[in-house]
Amino acid sequence: MNLINKSILQKIVKKKYCRFKKFGIRYIDYKNTNFLLGFLNPQGKILPRRLTGTSAKYQRKVAIAVKRARILGLLPFVTDNLK
């Protein structure tokens, strides 16, 4: 790839946004496992902010919700293939 193609690809990359701020979500329900699965990788680890685009405030809330769901048995701690 030459430099022109690389610069075009960098501009096409979608800007990440915090979906909680965009849609006005204030409370993250730990019982909504389908929603929380979007923040986990196939091994069951919590995805970092740089991949999801979530703000720091809501990333902490997501982490707490995932941990609560794990303790209650709604989400697994570790798995081979989650999705």
Residue 15 tokens, joined:
């800007």
Q: Which amino acid is at 48?
A: P
> Cα 43 from chain centroid?
13
Predicted pLDDT at 60: 96
Q: How many helices (H) and strands (E) does the chain have?
A: 5, 0
DSSP 40: B
Q: Hey, what domains does the chain have and what are their CATH numbers? A: 15-71 (4.10.640.10)
For 34-79, write each residue's pLDDT tens digit: 999 999 999 999 999 999 999 999 999 999 999 999 999 999 998 8
pLDDT of 28 higher than 70: yes
Q: Considering only CA atoms, which of 34, 53, 37 is closest in space to residue 45? A: 37
